[in-house]
Amino acid sequence: MNASPNPKRLVAVQFAVMAVVAFLAGWLTSRLGAPAEIAIRQVAAVSVFACIICATLMFEERRLGVAFVGISALLALRVISLSDFVKSTELHIILLLVGMMTLVGVLKDMGLFTWVIQSIINAKKMTGFRFVAILMLLSGIMPGIVDEVTSIVFVLALVFQVCDTLKLRPTPFVLMSVMATNIGSTGTMLGNPVGILIGTKATPTPLSFGDFIVHATPIMFLALAATFLLLMVYYRKDIKLLDERLAERRASHIGLGPMVAIPHKSGLAILIGALAFIAAHHPLEEWLHLEANTMLVAAPLTIAGLLMIFRSHRARHYVEVSVEWWSLLFFMMLFAVSAALEGCGVTDVVAEHIAPEGAANKYLLTPLIVGITAVGSAFVDNIVFVSTFIPIVKEIVATSPEMQPLWWALLFGACFGGNITAIGSTANLVAISMLGKKYSIKVAFWEWLKVGLLVGVVSCGVAVGVVLCYFR
Amino acid sequence: MNENATSLPAPDQPLASAAVFTEDEVLCHTKITDADKLFETLVGVLSVRDPSFNPVTALQTLRAREAAAPSFLAPGIAMPHARLEDLDRTLVAVATSPGGVHFAASKEPVRLVILVLTPAAAPGAYLSVVASISRLLRQPTFAEEVIAEKTATGVEALFRGAHRDPSLPPYVCAADMMAPPLATLRESNSVKDAIDLIVRTGFTDIPVVDKEGDLVGVASAQAILGVCLPDYLLWMEDLSGFSNFEPFETLLGKESSTWLADITDDTYAAVTADRPAIAVAEAMARRKTNICFVTEGAKLVGVVTLKRFLHNVFRD
């Protein structure tokens, strides 16, 4: 008997589930008691949002299609006007990401990442402990410089090289890298689209790159250190084996890969220059009397533009291949749906339920926001949750200004929660896909959940504790 | 090593074909000395048993096949064959000639001829006959006994005798298709040994065995290339900066002291010898490789290359 389900039937069932969930969400929304004209818009917006969540959960490859159809429905039903739709797609965030992705494409071409990997694998006196420490530190820092997806692709190349050469089981080291990547993605504003979204949307004033360095980076490092200690214990057997194999190689004076002179200096100079330019966005904006975060968008675009001018033979490649258009288009649709939810008052209602006016308590709300977004992000793309929660947090902060640290709670909950399950973040999905392609290894849902839940609880605990203590 | 099991016939299931020939298709102690004449006679005999095929086409196909690749199973034993589109079952005729029949491709006279006609669309049919006859010929005296036998009934009886079932096996096994492994490496060898062997033999995938002869992996030319040019080096737009094989220098300097384990891949295509030959194709297709190793237990007993497989299935 063939046990595998009929693919067509499976898709039909998934669409049926999506329709039922959308209907139930819409029906519940209709019970909110809004006037008929608003209620219709609220039902439509919530139903479309439910469809997008279902599509993200059940069929990744169809989620953009579902988002396109959903937005079209919202436009046709006048839930959102065409001009509001265009405004709400957050083109500045998209262009910032396009600029960064182009920069990463150039740096990859120029051999900067190759040089970093080669330097690590040929490091003298490498031990198991040192390798894991370097791996997790690199995984934690890299997403803050380049995005989390680029970072994980780059770090896993290092993991695969070491595991292939030393004949080690790659899964523990892949999981360590991914978990450090998700944590590290909170370190700077560029680490995760969620950071850019929160930074540009935060109230009463948007957060700058510098704000992230001052407030988010230390918390990220604390959570990373806690996770490192936890994983050192959890994967102690694999690390011990790595240590033994490395010792054998050291005794034979054999490296883990070829050693060649990589021309890395230009790439490194470009990266440092780009980061300095981006980090200086806030003083530049003040000096030029520009709107907040104007230079945050202009800086990567300027750098990407200059690089494309100087490397014109590869310019088309950078734009067409290095830029993740699939994800960016999905983000645009999602931002518009969130704007529709906000526009028809759904998020106000949710905010009022979470924190009734005058009753906001940060000792209650901080763990609540971290908890809700962490659990939500464990199953749905974190940007879906964050874009929905932004209007809610905005509403809470508007009524209780002392609740401003909730922006950080939102950031850490959404990113750290991504570690809980294998589908919790884009980096997880990329890592699983790379592991499957290279080794035909599948990471069981429970295998990930066991360690992911531990890491999620510990890192979220650190975040809640520090946010509550630090922002008194 | 995981291969999906292909369902085998149950032990009590009748074999796919009944006896492949009767005494009517045996030409005992023939006086014919010319191979072409003998083909005509044997095809004539088979056309009496099954008039559905065109004897002229059969002869043309036989001659063309024989000219392209003579089919000697052993010295003095030939197994000419043809695949015919208008045939729907396997036909076999046997001729013995103590004096010998002259085949152009053989200096030695051929004393036992087993002519096989199979349906064109049944690639396994001819291989089944070859497998069946080969098993009989492995018995040291069998061929001589058949050649010495003076009657057709006696020849048929020899084939049909105890433990000498002339029926076709239910399927062609991996063992029927494999060739002995001509080159192997030991776990204790170095990368230098592997490179030497690859360069000397021209084989691109060499099985690696342990002290007991158990298969533990494969050392491939691609793996050596991968050691010198790992994925992360290929990220760079172009490697034209390395004009003097710089990425190969590290390995060149250490090839004698680099363990074979560095390039040994433990994910390879392998099947056990008793598995149907289709499992060989399945293993190669799943692993996207051109070679499948055949084992008995864990012991390496043979190899089937994709080239050999395609030749056996499509051209034999």
Q: CA B229, CA A63: separation in Å to the nearest integer?
A: 37
Q: Do A114 and B262 touch (CB under 8 A)?
A: no
If asked whether residues B208 and B127 sit together in one domain, one would say: no
DSSP state of A76: H
Number of H helices, E strands in chain B: 12, 13
What would the DSSP string read from start to end of A356-404?
Answer: -TT---HHHHHHHHHHHHHHHHHHS-HHHHHHHHHHHHHHHHHH-GGGT
Q: Does the predicted interface ipTM exceed a cut of 0.85?
A: no
Q: How many domains are there within chain B?
A: 2
Q: CA B128, CA B238: separation in Å to the nearest integer?
A: 52
CB of A7 within 8 Å of any CB in chain B? no
If asked whether residues B219 and B132 sit together in one domain, one would say: no
Q: CA A219, CA B199: separation in Å to the nearest integer?
A: 56
Distance in Å, alpha carbon of A20 to nearest chain B alpha carbon: 38
DSSP state of A321: I
Query: Is B7 part of any domain?
Result: no
Which domain CATH number covers B242?
3.10.580.10
If asked whether residues B121 and B213 sit together in one domain, one would say: no
Q: Do A117 and B232 touch (CB under 8 A)?
A: yes
Q: State the burial class of residue B110 (Cβ atoms within 10 Å of its Cβ: 0-12, 13-18, 19+).
A: buried
Q: CA A213, CA A127: separation in Å to the nearest integer?
A: 31
Q: Which residues contact B227 (CB under 8 A, 6 or more apart)?
A: A257, A258, B191, B251, B262, B263
For the segment A19-32, the average pLDDT, to the nearest whole number, is 88
Distance in Å, alpha carbon of A405 to nearest chain B alpha carbon: 41
Distance in Å, alpha carbon of A167 to nearest chain B alpha carbon: 8
Q: CA A278, CA B273: separation in Å to the nearest integer?
A: 64
Q: State the burial class of residue B19 (Cβ atoms within 10 Å of its Cβ: 0-12, 13-18, 19+).
A: middle
If asked whether residues B30 and B163 sit together in one domain, one would say: yes
Query: Is B202 part of any domain?
Result: yes
Distance in Å, alpha carbon of B39 to nearest chain A alpha carbon: 48
What is the residue-averaged pLDDT of chain B? 82
Q: Do A114 and B258 touch (CB under 8 A)?
A: no
Query: Is B5 part of any domain?
Result: no
Give the closest of B229, B241, B254 to A263, CB-based: B241
Query: Is B8 part of any domain?
Result: no
Q: A108-129: b or e for each residue (b if 16 or more CB lie within 10 Å)?
A: bbbbbbbbbbbebbeeeebebe
Instruction: Identify the band that residue B41 occupies on the pLDDT scale cut at 50, 70 and 90.
Output: very high
Domain C-terminal end among B138, B169, B200: B169
Give the closest of B235, B251, B258 to A108, CB-based: B235
Query: Is B15 part of any domain?
Result: no
The pLDDT tens digits of the residues spanning A415-468 come to 999 999 988 888 898 898 888 888 888 888 889 999 999 999 999 999 999 999
Which has more pLDDT, B270 or A327?
A: B270
If asked whether residues B36 and B164 sit together in one domain, one would say: yes
Query: Is 50 exceeded by the pLDDT of residue B6?
Result: no
What would the DSSP string read from start to end of B264-306?
Answer: EES---EEETTSBHHHHHHHHHHHT-SEEEEEETTEEEEEEEH
Instruction: Identify the band that residue B303 occupies on the pLDDT scale cut at 50, 70 and 90.
Output: very high
If asked whether residues B210 and B84 sit together in one domain, one would say: no
The pLDDT tens digits of the residues spanning A163-220 come to 988 889 999 999 999 999 999 999 999 888 899 999 998 988 899 999 999 999 999 9
Residue B86 is predicted with a pLDDT of 84
If asked whether residues B128 and B194 sit together in one domain, one would say: no
Query: Is B139 part of any domain?
Result: yes
Which domain CATH number covers B43?
3.40.930.10
Instruction: Identify the band that residue B7 occupies on the pLDDT scale cut at 50, 70 and 90.
Output: very low
Residue B253 is predicted with a pLDDT of 74
Query: Is 60 exceeded by the pLDDT of residue A30?
Result: yes
Quick count: other Cβ atoms within 10 Å of Cβ B226? 16
If asked whether residues B29 and B153 sit together in one domain, one would say: yes
Helices A148-166 and A171-184, interaxial angle, to 10°? 160
Query: Is B180 part of any domain?
Result: no
If asked whether residues B165 and B189 sit together in one domain, one would say: no
Q: Which residues on chain A are in Cβ contact (under 8 Å) with B230?
A: 157, 161, 257-258
CB of A117 within 8 Å of any CB in chain B? yes
Could you list the residue range(s) of the whole structural domain that residue B37 is in?
23-169
Which has more pLDDT, B139 or B163?
A: B139
Which of helix, strand or coil describes residue B206?
strand
Q: Do B267 and A439 touch (CB under 8 A)?
A: yes
Query: Is B293 part of any domain?
Result: yes
Length of chain B measured in residues: 316
Q: Which residues on chain B are in Cβ contact (under 8 Å) with A267?
A: none
Cis peptide before A206 (omega within 30 of 0): no
Q: Which residues on chain B are in Cβ contact (under 8 Å) with A314?
A: 237
Q: Do B232 and A113 touch (CB under 8 A)?
A: yes
Distance in Å, alpha carbon of B269 to nearest chain A alpha carbon: 14
Share of chain A above pLDDT 90, in %: 47
Question: What does DSSP say about strands B215-220 and B264-265: parallel, antiparallel, or unpaired?
Answer: antiparallel
Q: Do A440 and B242 touch (CB under 8 A)?
A: no
If asked whether residues B45 and B160 sit together in one domain, one would say: yes
If asked whether residues B159 and B190 sit together in one domain, one would say: no
Which has more pLDDT, B108 or B272?
A: B272
For the segment B125-143, the average pLDDT, to the nearest whole number, is 78
CB of A12 within 8 Å of any CB in chain B? no
Domain C-terminal end among B103, B136, B169: B169
If asked whether residues B112 and B190 sit together in one domain, one would say: no
Q: State the burial class of residue A294 (Cβ atoms within 10 Å of its Cβ: 0-12, 13-18, 19+).
A: middle
The pLDDT tens digits of the residues spanning B203-238 come to 989 999 988 889 999 999 988 888 888 888 888 887
Domain C-terminal end among B108, B138, B169: B169
